[in-house]
A and B are shown apart, each in its own frame.
Chain A
C-alpha cells in the first residue's frame, strides 16, 4: 500500500499543494488532475523521491520512503514528462539499457515484443530514436511498462503525444497491471477508460 500523509509542496515561494493525504491500494489507480502549473509533476516527482516535500510524509508499506531509499526505488517505475531515452540509440538499445539498469528482463526478444506491444513496427526498432516522431518516442518510453514487473507505476502525462491506438494499448496495459495487484499514479488531463471502481481522483488546485 502506498500513502501520502499531509503532504505539502512548493516551487520557490509559491505553495503548490498542502495537506494532501491519499492512499493507493493494490489494484487501484490514482489519477492526479489539475490545471497547468497546479503541481501535478512536482507531486509525482515527490512520490518518486526526486523532490523533497515541504511537509508530510510518503509511506510505502507503512514506512517512510526517505528511510527506505533504494529499497523503495526498486519498487517503482517512473515515466516522467521527459522520455528518458537517448536519441542516438535505437529503440531496442534504449529499452535494453534501461531494462538492464532497472534489473528487468531484456533477453530473448522480450524488448522487441514490448516495442510491438506498444505498436512500434519492427522497421523502426533498429533506427536511431532521433528519426522517430514525438509520438513514436513516447511509445518507446512507455514500452518500459511492458518490461516492468514493479508494483508501483508513477506516470506523468503518459497519454501525451499518443494517438487513439497507442492510448488504447496503454490503457489495456494499465488494466492488466491493476488486475495483477499493481498500483498506478497518473498525472493526466485525460479521462482514463478504466472501470470506475479501480480509479480514484485527486484534484490539485492552484
Chain B
C-alpha cells in the first residue's frame, strides 16, 4: 500500500482540472471572450479621445479581469461537489489546503492567465505605452492569482447554497478591493511617471498573504460544506 507524496497529489489535482478544462473549452473561451468584449466596448462607448482612454485604461481592464474571475468562480468546486469528486478529494491522504492550492492554480491557469496574456493587446486599445503595458501585465500577473485565492474562499463558503452566484459576489467583491486599488494604481503610477514599484510590491504582499491564509480558509469551508 502506498500513499501519494504532496507534490504528486498537487500535480494530480492540477492535471485533472486542466484536462477537464480541455474537454470544456467553451468555459475557457467564455472567460476570454467576456474580457475581450467588455474591454472593447469601453473605447466605443467613451469615444476615441486618447487622453481619456489612457486615464480609464487601468480601471477598466482591472475591473474586467476581476469580473471575469468572479464569473468563473462558480465552476471552481460546484461540479466536483455534485459528482462526488469533492468527497474523494477530501479523502486524499494529504492536507486539503495543499490540494486547494492545486485547484486554485488550475483555476487561475484557465481563467486568469488568458487575461494576463491578452492584457498587452487590450491595453493597446486604450493607447497605453510600452512601459505601462508591461506594468499592466505584471500587475495582472501578480493580482489575478490573488483574486482566484480569495474567490476560492467565497466559492467554498457558498457551496451547495441556492443563489450562490450572487452570494459569492457579495462575499468576495469587498475583499477584491485592495487588489483592484493596487493593480489599477500600479498602471496609473506608471502613466504618471512616478514609478509603480510600491503598488506592485503591495500586490505581491497581497498574493503572499492570500497564499498563506486562503487555502486554509477554503479547506475549512469545504469541510463544513460537505458535513
In the complex, chain B residues whose CB is within 8 Å of the CB of A205 = none
Report chain A residues within 8 Å CB of B2. 103-105, 149
Tell whether, in the assembled complex, residue A101 and residue B226 are in contact, meaning their CB atoms are under 8 Å apart: no
* Residue contact B84 to A88, C-beta cutoff 8 Å: no
Stretch at the interface among B13-21, B66-74, B202-210: B13-21
Chain A residues with CB below 8 A from B79, complex form: 86
Let me know if B85 is at the binding interface, CB within 8 A: yes
Interface size class for chain B?
A: 20 to 34
Decide if A6 is an interface residue (CB 8 Å cutoff).
no
Cβ-defined contact, B87 with A84, below 8 A: yes
User: Closest A-chain residue to B96, C-beta based?
Assistant: A70
Cross-chain contact of B227 among A52, A71, A103 (Cβ < 8 A): A52
Is the pair B93, A70 in contact by a Cβ cutoff of 8 Å?
Answer: yes
**A26 in the interface (beta carbon within 8 A):** no
**Pair B16/A97 contact, Cβ less than 8 Å:** yes
Name B residues whose Cβ lies closer than 8 Å to a Cβ of A. 1-4, 8-9, 12-13, 15-16, 19-20, 23-24, 79, 82-85, 87-95, 226-227
Supply 4 further A-B pairs (C-beta < 8 A) apart from A50-B227, A82-B87: A50-B226, A71-B93, A83-B83, A84-B84
Question: Can you report 27 A-B residue pairs in the complex whose CB atoms are below 8 A from each other?
Answer: A48-B91, A50-B87, A50-B90, A50-B226, A51-B227, A75-B1, A80-B84, A81-B84, A82-B83, A82-B87, A83-B84, A84-B83, A84-B88, A85-B85, A86-B83, A89-B19, A89-B20, A89-B23, A101-B92, A103-B2, A103-B8, A103-B93, A104-B2, A128-B23, A149-B1, A149-B2, A151-B1
